[in-house]
Amino acid sequence: MWLTNSFLDYLQCERNYSEETIKSYREDLRQFEEFAREELGDSAPSEVKAELVREWIVSLMDKGYASTSINRKLSSLRSFYKFLLRKGEVTVNPLQKVTGPKNKRPLPAFLKESEMDKLLDEVNFGEGFKGCRDHMIIEMFYTTGMRLSELIGLDDKDVDFSSLLIRVTGKRNKQRLIPFDEELKIAMTEYVNVRNESIPVRTGAFFVRENGERLSRSIVENLVKRNLSKVVTLKKRSPHVLRHTFATTMLNHDAKLGAIKELLGHESLATTEIYTHTTFEELKKVYNQAHPRA
CA distances from 236 to 120, 139, 278 (A): 19, 18, 16
Looking at the predicted structure, is the pLDDT value of residue 285 above 90? no
pLDDT band of 274, cuts 50, 70, 90: confident
SS (H, E, C) 120-166: HHCCCCCCHHHHHHHHHHHHHHHHHCCCHHHHHCCEHHHEECCCCEE
Kindly report the length of the chain. 294
Q: What is the pLDDT of residue 293?
A: 63
How many CB atoms are closer than 10 A to CB 11?
A: 19
Cα 57 to Cα 38: distance, rounded to the nearest angstrom: 15
Cα 213 to Cα 202: distance, rounded to the nearest angstrom: 6
Looking at the predicted structure, is the pLDDT value of residue 45 above 90? no
Looking at the predicted structure, is the pLDDT value of residue 288 above 60? no
Residue 285 falls inside a structural domain: no
Greater confidence (160 vs 293) lies with 160
Are the beta carbons of 113 and 104 closer than 8 angstroms?
A: no
Q: What is the pLDDT of residue 254?
A: 82
Q: Give the number of domains in the chain.
A: 2
Residue 263 falls inside a structural domain: yes
Domain match, 129 and 66 both = no
Are the beta carbons of 94 and 48 closer than 8 angstroms?
A: yes
Are the beta carbons of 249 and 108 closer than 8 angstroms?
A: no
Residue 289 falls inside a structural domain: no
In the chain, helix, strand, coil percent, each to 5?
Answer: 55, 5, 40
Looking at the predicted structure, is the pLDDT value of residue 136 above 90? yes
CA distances from 183 to 43, 244, 282 (A): 73, 21, 22
Q: What is the pLDDT of residue 284?
A: 38
Residue 100 falls inside a structural domain: no
Residue 282 falls inside a structural domain: no
Q: What is the pLDDT of residue 277?
A: 56
| Least confident among 94-98, 160-164, 192-196, 229-233 | 94-98
Which residue type is seen at 246?
A: F
Average pLDDT, the chain: 89
**What residues have CB less than 8 Å from 258, skipping those under 6 apart?**
269
Cα 124 to Cα 143: distance, rounded to the nearest angstrom: 19
Q: What is the pLDDT of residue 251?
A: 85
Supply the residues annotated as catalytic: 147, 171, 240, 243, 266, 275
Nearest residue to 249 via CA among 268, 234, 264, 229: 264
CATH number of the domain enclosing 207? 1.10.443.10
Percentage of residues of the chain with pLDDT beyond 70: 92
What would the mean pLDDT of 112-131 be, rounded to a whole number?
95
Q: What is the pLDDT of residue 23?
A: 94
Residue 117 falls inside a structural domain: yes
What single-letter DSSP state applies at residue 253? T
Domain match, 54 and 134 both = no
Last residue of a domain, one of 87, 104, 132: 87
Last residue of a domain, one of 38, 53, 87: 87
Q: What is the pLDDT of residues 149-165, one digit of tens each?
A: 999 999 999 999 999 99
Percentage of residues of the chain with pLDDT beyond 90: 66
Query: What residue numbers bound the domain in which 33 lies?
Result: 4-87
How many CB atoms are closer than 10 A to CB 207?
A: 20
How many CB atoms are closer than 10 A to CB 104?
A: 9
Q: What is the pLDDT of residues 210-246, one digit of tens each?
A: 999 999 999 999 999 999 999 998 888 999 999 999 9
pLDDT band of 205, cuts 50, 70, 90: very high
Backbone angles phi, psi at 160, to 5 degrees: -105, 100
Looking at the predicted structure, is the pLDDT value of residue 28 above 60? yes
Question: Facing residues of 159 across strands?
Answer: 166
